[in-house]
Structure 1
């Protein structure tokens, strides 16, 4: 009913209008507002629309975090990824409340644990002692590429995001992720999980908004070392991003050519896609 000045409830009190939550970006371990000041509504919430400056800020944060994160022991990185899984497990019901199927949440938790287990094993598997014709030790070891730009898949919103972020960071890379604009809330909520875990600021940076607006700026940024185009569904847009990435010879992981079974065994391909091989020669003692 109305008293002429607005809606009232049965007790004659004005009807309460709920507060709409406004989600921010996740850059450098903090939650800044978008420089653009823009947002768009999703599920009765406001979600930030990232700008070109937000991309620059995220790359700057990711670059600043590379040295510390890549210098962390592999065992410690595994512990941190496992901690993320623990925190995600504790907020399982919140993700289900956002519309993420319970089975997908469980798969995402297990995916963090799976990659955590690889942290101190990937070098053993892909490193090598090479036979050479001479009195030398010749050793090859994988090293992180650096800053990886990621266009996350829209579906499955949570499992797809975890499946592209975890393999990139477990080997020592840092990431700037452009989240699909159609399903941003699981990614934003995951950023809250990351912020309350032991993950150092800047290792993962999540930008909501329209990847079609910000993608070319990320792909062309000269301080980004590699690009994961898994979330790109428009071939022309993918080609545009590949051309932009060629400016500094970025490694590019192209979009899948067909449907992806995100619940299947992910293998090691996503980890090795963003690793460089360093080979050292050392003379043998006499």
Structure 2
């Protein structure tokens, strides 16, 4: 074999958005540089546009009836499958996190392990949260009064800054575990773990449109999501204080549910059930006794 035939070009990866179970380029054709903390170039990430955000909402709304109508047990199986597939890509995520955050391999590996465990945690909660959030209510009369949780709908999520995998999973998993669908705006400084996670989701039996991943500027993508009639709730965990105020004002016109942590979250801590109930509505049914 000659020297020339032995040499070959590297196949550089083209990262794309994740919308409706497919991997389109941004309709704008824009990209931006993703670099390490010390400025080394890693990849080009798509710079999503307002139209990409609207397309993601359409996909999430279309997927909502089937996903919310699935049994809680089935949703748990799919979330566990995500954990399995993420485990199979452990080394890839470890390398991405080490590059994105400038940390050593051991610390990056621990973050990947924690993200896998977080998927398993929420997989186990899918068929149990109704017992925690629901109730049989005492009433004065010949009636049964039952309250049960139901998913809110389409949730737009601004992913946490500085925790591109564990933090992302910690805000995304409880949204879909309870039957909602999601439009996720990834951390713009470290979007590659989110885009690689999208590839995991696409091969984990998760129906297309349940999770849609956008990369780009939250200040550009947030307003069309906050003002969209088909978005039912916002998670502003990763929004800056000024952006969060603007998005809350935009969301007020369509009466969206807002989740905005007032203090920084420690995603390595026990997640509890707070996020599981953040995007649940309560349906109460009265039924006469003896009829």
* TM-score, normalised relative to structure 2: 0.91
Aligned ranges 1:43-82 → 2 under 5 Å: 43-82=41-80
CA contact (8 A) 1:222 1:247 kept: no
d(CA) in 2 for partners of 1:175, 1:139: 28
Aligned-partner SS, 2:276? helix
Q: Are 1:262 and 2:260 counterparts?
A: no
Return the match for 1:108 from 101, 106, 115. Answer: 115
d(CA) in 2 for partners of 1:14, 1:65: 47
Deviation at 1:259, TM superposition (A): 3.0
Deviation at 1:15, TM superposition (A): 7.7
**Further displaced range: 33-42 or 167-176:** 33-42
Q: Once the two structures are superposed, what CA deviation does each residue of 1:88-133 show, in whole Å capped at 9, x if it has no partner?
A: 0010001012134000000000000000000000001111111111
Return the match for 2:17 from 9, 12, 25. Answer: 25
RMSD: 1.7
Deviation at 1:241, TM superposition (A): 0.4
Return the match for 1:41 from 33, 36, 58. Answer: 33
d(CA) in 1 for partners of 2:186, 2:13: 18
Aligned-partner SS, 1:141? strand
How many equivalent pairs are there? 275
Aligned ranges 1:1-286 → 2 under 5 Å: 18-42=10-34, 43-100=41-98, 101-232=108-239, 234-254=240-260, 256-285=261-290
Deviation at 1:18, TM superposition (A): 3.3
CA contact (8 A) 2:143 2:286 kept: yes
CA contact (8 A) 2:97 2:164 kept: no
CA contact (8 A) 2:79 2:120 kept: yes
d(CA) in 1 for partners of 2:178, 2:52: 25
Deviation at 1:210, TM superposition (A): 1.0
Deviation at 1:14, TM superposition (A): 11
d(CA) in 2 for partners of 1:16, 1:73: 49
Aligned-partner SS, 1:271? coil
**Further displaced range: 159-168 or 37-46:** 37-46
CA contact (8 A) 1:20 1:44 kept: no
Gaps of 5+ in 1: 1-10
Aligned-partner SS, 1:109? helix
Aligned-partner SS, 2:25? coil
Q: Once the two structures are superposed, what CA deviation does each residue of 1:127-161 show, in whole Å capped at 9, x if it has no partner?
A: 11111111111100000000000000122100011
Aligned-partner SS, 1:28? coil
- Greater gyration radius: 1
1:5 match: none
2:102 match: none
Deviation at 1:184, TM superposition (A): 0.3
